[in-house]
Structure formats: C-alpha cells, structure tokens
Structure 1
Amino acid sequence: MTRIHGKETNYSNFGDALEAATVFTVMMDGMPLVYSGQEAGLDRSLEFFEKDPIEWKTHKNEALYTTLFNLKHRNQALWNGSYGGEMVRIMNDKMDQVISFVREKNGDKVLIFMNLSKDSVMVQFDTSFDTGHYTSLFTGQPHTVPETMVMNMAPWEYVILHHEHPE
C-alpha cells in the first residue's frame, strides 16, 4: 500500500521487523540515518513547513541505538567507508530467511546473524573462518564460535557477536 506525502512511518513500513531492520542498517556498510525522533519512538510523520514538536521521552529505541552506536564507535570493523571492514557473507542453510555476515578490520571483528522472516527457524552456519571467542552484544556474555554453529532463531531475531583487538 502506498502512503501519500510522508504519512508512512517506520512502524507502518516495517511492523514487527523494525528492530531487525534497525540493527541491519547500523551493522552493514555505510552510515545509517536516524531521523528526528526515531530514538524516542516517534510513531507518526512530522509535518513539513509547520511547527511540529517531537515529544522527547525515554523509549526502548534509545537503548537499542545507544548499544549499536557505542559498538560502531569503538569497533573498527563497523567504521564507515574504507575505514571499516567489508561485509563478507557467512553461509548458512536457510539463506532465504537468514542473513549472516562478518565484518573485520585491524583485529576488530563483528559477526551478525539475523532471522529476517516471520517464522522461527533452526539454522546452521558455516563459521569455520570465524572461530574464536566473542562477546554477545546484548547480553554481555562470552560466546565461543565453533566451525559450525547451530541456532534456533525466533522471528526477526538478531544476534551480534564481537571482539575488539586490545590496543
């Protein structure tokens, strides 16, 4: 359905996939855009050429963006342009539902696993090039990546594992 003149929002465009889409745009190559009020959960379009104040409030989006941008700032693999690492696909057995990739630069590394479907899925990843010890971004727990990793992923679930090279 097409919406007329800015009446679409992140919520109407992405629905239940909004958080996964947000995570993907921050983890991929390039510089993500955050529109006015997005981090405060703005759920409407702003009026053009009219005073239309944003209600700044605490929202779960604030914690999500803070966590993602803190990692992007400190981990060189996620830096922009040639300063960051190239996206390299991690092969999996559910390529029509799950995207998985790694970015690496100067010893910093990030592994991203995302179920971009509305269905739960058991998925096997070929992590043979990315074995090692990582930290889960959202839990802070250590995670060892073997040559083959299997995950049961909920709809729209994302997992980010990272490590930074000690300076």
Structure 2
Amino acid sequence: MAANYSLSGTFDGSEVHVIIGTVPLSGFSDGDSITATRSGDLFTKRSGLDGSTGRSKNTDKSGTIEVRLLSTSAANDALSLLMNMDSLGLEGDAVFPISVVDMSGRTVISGSECWLQTPPSVAFSTNAVGERAWVFAAASLQLYVGGNN
C-alpha cells in the first residue's frame, strides 16, 4: 500500500526580513541566524496536596532577539552606531522597534521597545569569515509562529 505524502511547505531563508529601528539587516550567518526567545513561561502552575492544580498567567512578556551576522556584513556598522548611540548618549536614546517577518511563510516576531542587550564577541580567524552575534532585549516580545507556504 502506497503512503500518501504531500509537501507541507517550502522555507526560503532569503525571504526572512529583519528591521531594527529603520535599518534593514542583511549578511546573516548560516545556521540559526535569528533566534527569538520569551524570558519566561506563559503560565506558572502550582499543585496542591490533594492533586488539584492552579495556574497563574505570567505578565512578563519580555524576551530576546539574537541576530547572527557574518563579520563581513555592513549591518554590523549600523548596529555599532546604535550601540554607541546608546552607551555614549543619554539613557533611553537607543530604544527602537524590531521586526522579523518570514515572507515565505507566516511567522512574525516584533517588539516595539527594544535595545541592545549584549554586543557581539569579536574574534578573527585565519581563512574563515567570522560571525557577530547581537542580542537585543524586548520589553514586550510579540510572537506569531506560523508555517510556510
């Protein structure tokens, strides 16, 4: 008996668009080049002595967005400017929106109040293009995790 398999969708990494403030990013590294993570669970549960369980909604919607770029990407320059603007200027100067949209699918990640949390480590290697991992904090990380067309 023949199995009934069908194509569930197609992902195209070149159709994932990231905009930080007004800066569109390009030059992403290979592998997991964009990662979004909520800071905590959606709910916390507590079980009683008799086995009954209750849950409380976690009101913390914060999270992080990590973007990994090739060391050769011009986007590193733009992100360095944002970093320096925040660290050398008045507090709150470099809070900006971030959006990640998969145009080959339905996943959308966004935060309206984000800032650079961790600048990348910088390493230089012989005969290899390096990677720069930028980690941004989001006061409220909005996630819609969809499939692909």
TM bracket, shorter-chain basis = under 0.3
Query: What is the TM-score with the length of structure 1 in the denominator?
Result: 0.22
- Which protein has greater RCO, CA pairs closer than 8 Å, 6+ apart? 2
Larger helix fraction of residues: 1
> Which one has a bigger Cα radius of gyration?
2
